[in-house]
A and B are shown apart, each in its own frame.
Chain A
Amino acid sequence: MSTHPHLHRDDPKDYLHCEYGIRSWLFTTDHKRIAILYLVSITLMFFVGGAFATLVRLELITPQSDLLQPETYNRMFTMHGIVMVWFFLIPSIPAVLGNFLIPMMVGARDLAFPRINLLSWWLFTASGVFVLITIFIGGVDTGWTFYTPFSTFYSNSYAVAAALAIFINGFSTILTGLNFIVTVHTMRAPGMTWLRLPLFVWSNYATAVIMVLATPVLAITLLLVGIERVFRVGIFDPALGGDPILFQHLFWFYSHPAVYIMILPGMGVVSELVTAFSRKRIFGYHFVAFASMAIALFGFLVWGHHLFVSGQSLYAGLVFSLLSYLVAVPSAIKVFNWTATLYKGSVLLATPMLYALAFIGLFTMGGLTGLFVAALGVDVHVHDTYFVVAHFHYIMVGGMVTAYMGGLHFWWPKISGRMYPEGWAKIAAGLIFFGFNLTFFPQFVLGYLGMPRRYATYPPEFQVWNVLSTAGASILAVGYVVPLFYLFWSMRYGKIAPRNPWRASGLEWEEADSPPIKHNFEEVPTVTKEAYHYHEGVRLG
């Protein structure tokens, strides 16, 4: 059986069919199966978070509160934020695509610690169950940011339960990050030098560094919130001698880097897609790779830009604003390099490429509006308004979710052994792009007009923009549901995928079957070429 090029889905050796039964999935240590477990879990969470978003948008059709009382509304946007940030976005690309691909891309048979990888998923599941229980018993109304002293003394909701869920979730993130770092350092195949690594690996490596360094701070912060709330020890509440601004420093010391956990992996996906569908070496490999590391590093130094109006010293604001512009430079570099990669390429607008180009456009919008909010004077006006809401949704949904969808389609043949239906996929991609912009572009206008975020009711003159936004959200929702159906459908009825359907470079395409065998490769490959070696020809079978 050793090097059969046309191994396909029915071959008993592929990772999907080498073992059967629920135990072979729930207790697997195969990174590819764990990726599938994550795929199932986060898809569920995505639709839970999406349901909350739907209720929020429905309530905002009218200025008064009619569908939901403010008390319920506040729980809805809080749960939307918590579920989407920690239970979808943070694990999305790293835990699904990263888990599946990183070992294959570096030429390894698995991650460095397969059982810890399984533990990550179990911790994630435990935290997911916790968060679902929290929702079930009544939810939490602190906002995903848990600002004190509201979260420690004034909220009558299940703040401690939610914090506990996120606390457990953090360990899953830390262990995944650790696994990636060790794998990239120690498990590269012979000849796979650092500068031959695909950019997807670079960006997930940078992400993993943030995961390991930042997440413990979140855990500590939530622990302190719990201690203050339960034992009434003064840490953040001024009535007990605490400092509420301290909480914001700690929270954003984690959460700003976490923003990069929620975008860097997307950038990695897009680097893969743009090269594969231009059949061309990336423009400026070193710049794109080191830009990821620069973002990870500088990302730790800008947290104070969330505190420009909070009472933080004006001079601290000055420093944080300057550093925020510094971190924008590597992001700009990436956008220019992707665009330049198209130049004289052989561009095919298949669905993954549509997502990749949409990513570049939407991320550019998100990044450029980041320049607005980083400008101290402008932030005084737009801080905590819908301008900020639109800005970060352009990054996190327009950027990260778009990249995730692109990556899922691109590697779907590798993951499932089947092709997705191209026509349906293009329709869904179109709906998502149009729906997304209709949802979030009006929010920029609303924000500059002064509509604050987290408002259950609003002055009537803001209604038109809110109605447009809700209309967009309904299109967006359809756009996200359609792929759920056709991807399921394709697992049974899709065209059987060849080993390298896109004629792409990379060990996962050139050296592994679709779907891969349990240990990825028959023999550990020896790498002799750079990443994106289209000019030297790629292996098809």
Chain B
Amino acid sequence: MAGAALAVPFWPPPAAQSATAVDHLFIFLLAICGTVAAGIFITILYFAARYRRRADDEIGSLRPSPLWVELTWTAIPAAIFLFIFGWGARVYFSIYSPQVGALQIYVVGKQWMWEVQHPNGQREINQLHLPVNRQVQLVLTSQDVIHSFFVPAFRVKRDAVPGMYTTVQFHPTKAGEYHLFCAEYCGTEHSRMIGTVTVMEPRDYERWLAGTPRGEPLAATGERLFTKYGCVNCHGNIAPALDGVYMKGIGLADGRVVTADDQYLRESILDPGAKIVGGFPNIMPSFRGVVNEVELQALIEYLKSLGAPAAGYAGEERRPRRPVTRP
């Protein structure tokens, strides 16, 4: 784990690009705020000593409070604040805005564990194995209450919220084992909803992929479910064909055009009436309470596999462009 039990830790290990970015801003803040704080403390102590009361009936001297002094110490902090704001915003967007070509992994939080699904079938509980030096995107949701996926070594966290998908990316830079915490209070065993993120050298990672018993690829599970729940009966004949639907612009019946991202696909399955595809009747039944979060992710992964193939990487199987097995 990070740091032996006896050594007193001062700084979490930096193990991702985001960690370096956050650390730099944090150190800048420490420097500037430390200077300001020291300046104020020293001034107070100096004044308290220098102007200490010498006679019982002494009074302070009447000083004007010139406007320029007030304006100076209003304007300078405001300028510094704006600078910090801008820097913080840059780091934030680099952590949360999605990037193309990332390795996508699904994570479901539930009281009190993390269930991880890799695209080609590996499943893990409270463990996440990652290759070093590869951009990773997590798609998070929760089956019950709000949790938060937190990896201090990456300086990154994101809430897993029931009823919606959130995403977070990172780019691990150093192999090792790191803490995974749940950061949002979620009930009795909140502090035990923890695990390990293992960042591996590419070769070790391949070995891990090969050696881990895996079920069928996530998309194949999704395909099975697509048949099981009768989606096939409508889609392709009375309902829109779903080939290439992922990230496509969808013209809705009310005239809006929306992008078919994860959140849209999720909503289309759980709450089909919310956004109706133009030219189609609102006849799709809701699958809320029928499919669970894990199945939902498999279905969405399947829908994605019907689109353009994702950029492959060493060790990952090429995902089928078309359904592999039709019964």
Contact = CB atoms under 8 A, between A and B. Distances in A.
A343 B44 CA distance: 9
Which one of B22, B26, B150, B163 has the highest number of Cβ atoms from chain A below 10 Å of its Cβ?
A: B163
B191 A347 contact: no
Given A150-B145, A377-B21, A377-B90, A74 B60 contact: no
B88 A280 contact: no
Nearest to A330: B74
B183 A383 contact: yes
Contact of B191 (A336, A375, A458): A458
A380 B73 contact: no
Interface string A341-368: 0111111110000000100110011001
Contacts of B90: 377
Contact of A372 (B29, B95, B164, B187): B29
B59 A279 contact: yes
B96 interface: yes
B29 A381 contact: no
Interface in B118-169: 144-146, 148, 150, 152-153, 155-159, 161-164, 166
Interface residues of A, number: 94
Contacts of A364: 36-37, 40-41
Contacts of B22: 377-378, 380-381
A111 B225 CA distance: 69
Interface in A259-279: 278-279
B53 A329 contact: no
Interface string B56-96: 01111111010001100110011001101101111111111
A155 to B, nearest CB: 7
B275 to A, nearest CB: 15
A449 interface: yes
B146 A335 contact: no
B186 A535 contact: no
Contacts of B93: 314
A239 interface: yes
B185 interface: yes
A285 to B, nearest CB: 7
A321 B78 contact: no
B104 interface: no
B8 interface: yes
B188 interface: yes
A488 to B, nearest CB: 29
Interface stretch (A47-55, A189-197, A204-212, A303-311): A303-311
Interface in A306-337: 308-311, 314, 317-318, 321-322, 325-326, 328-329, 332-333, 335-337
A340 interface: yes
A460 B81 CA distance: 37
Interface in A82-128: none
Contacts of B325: none
A454 B190 contact: yes
A339 interface: yes
A455 interface: yes
Interface string B30-67: 00010011001101100110011110011111110100
Given A74-B188, A333-B73, 20 more contacts: A147-B185, A149-B146, A309-B159, A311-B158, A318-B89, A321-B85, A325-B85, A329-B77, A333-B74, A343-B47, A344-B51, A368-B33, A368-B36, A371-B84, A377-B25, A377-B89, A381-B26, A448-B26, A453-B185, A459-B194
7 contacts: A150-B185, A279-B60, A285-B65, A342-B47, A344-B60, A375-B85, A449-B12
